[in-house]
Amino acid sequence: MSDHADQTGEAPPKFRRRKEARPDELLDAALDLFTEQGFDRTTVEQIARRAGVSKGALYLYFPSKDAVIENLVDRAVGHLVGEVVAQIEAFKGDPRVLLQRFVPLFTARLTEARVIAVPKLVVREAVNHPQLAQMYRERVIGRVVPALTALFRQGVAGGHIRAVDPEMAVRSLLGPVLMHVLLADVFGIWPEGATAEDIGIARLLDTHLSIFFAGLAPATEQEAPHG
């Protein structure tokens, strides 16, 4: 233990920590500041100061503030998106089976404060910063939506689900999740028992998928076909 730590009882300065930890420390500092005061009001200097490093040190890892938020998105959902898309593209059969497998994965990730904070941040900032919306589309939505559309299309073709419009089915699947976040984060309408750390994603998914899956059930002979 250093003399500094012996005398003060404090942890060593951040610049003495392993270099591998610095990107995450910088991203944590940036996310906290973006959440507290917004993207525009946060400067690179503030991020570096919050992380306990110099402005020059920050630029060694991230060349701009935009690069910081891009890396926040990649850290929060990049691996998850890649894993989900790969499983969707390899799957053949009833889409409900695969979607049910994703529930524990999504519940675990979306109840992590530093994960759910990132899409919430993008939604809040997208109007004033279209480049953030475009970046999130390229890294997340633009990969997930086509994969899910193909999943529903093959489900319809194989007779596993009723003859729904695959594109509209994807919007019907994702829409309630987005609205749930907006209701809590933007409008302050919280489910009973919800907190800032847990806005009730698990309850939402359980309820939403129960209804959604029932609606996907193959039509019976007594039912009139959709016109």
Tell me how far apart the alpha carbons of residues 155 and 153 are, in angstroms, rounded to a whole number. Answer: 5
pLDDT band at 123 (very low <50, low <70, confident <90, very high): confident
Residue 84 pLDDT more than 70? yes
Query: How confident is the model at residue 79, as a pLDDT?
Result: 87
Query: How confident is the model at residue 7, as a pLDDT?
Result: 43
* Other beta carbons less than 10 A from residue 150's beta carbon: 15
pLDDT band at 120 (very low <50, low <70, confident <90, very high): confident
At 38-59, the pLDDT tens digits run 999 999 999 999 999 999 999 9
Q: What CATH topology corresponds to 65-216?
A: Tetracycline Repressor; domain 2 (1.10.357)
Q: What's this model's pTM, rounded to 2 decimal places?
A: 0.83
At 168-191, the pLDDT tens digits run 999 999 999 999 988 988 889 999
Query: How confident is the model at residue 157, as a pLDDT?
Result: 98
Residue 197 pLDDT more than 80? no
Q: What CATH topology corresponds to 13-61?
A: Arc Repressor Mutant, subunit A (1.10.10)
Query: How confident is the model at residue 196, as a pLDDT?
Result: 75
Query: How confident is the model at residue 224, as a pLDDT?
Result: 54
Residue 18 pLDDT more than 60? no
Residue 208 pLDDT more than 70? yes
Choose among 94, 220, 101: nearest CA to 157.
Answer: 94
Tell me how far apart the alpha carbons of residues 211 and 110 are, in angstroms, rounded to a whole number. Answer: 20
Query: How confident is the model at residue 44, as a pLDDT?
Result: 96
Can you give the residue ranges of every domain in the chain?
Answer: 13-61, 65-216
SS3 call for 66:
helix
Q: Which two tokens stand for residue 16?
A: 């003495």
Q: What one-letter code names the amino acid at 40?
A: D
Residue 21 pLDDT more than 60? yes
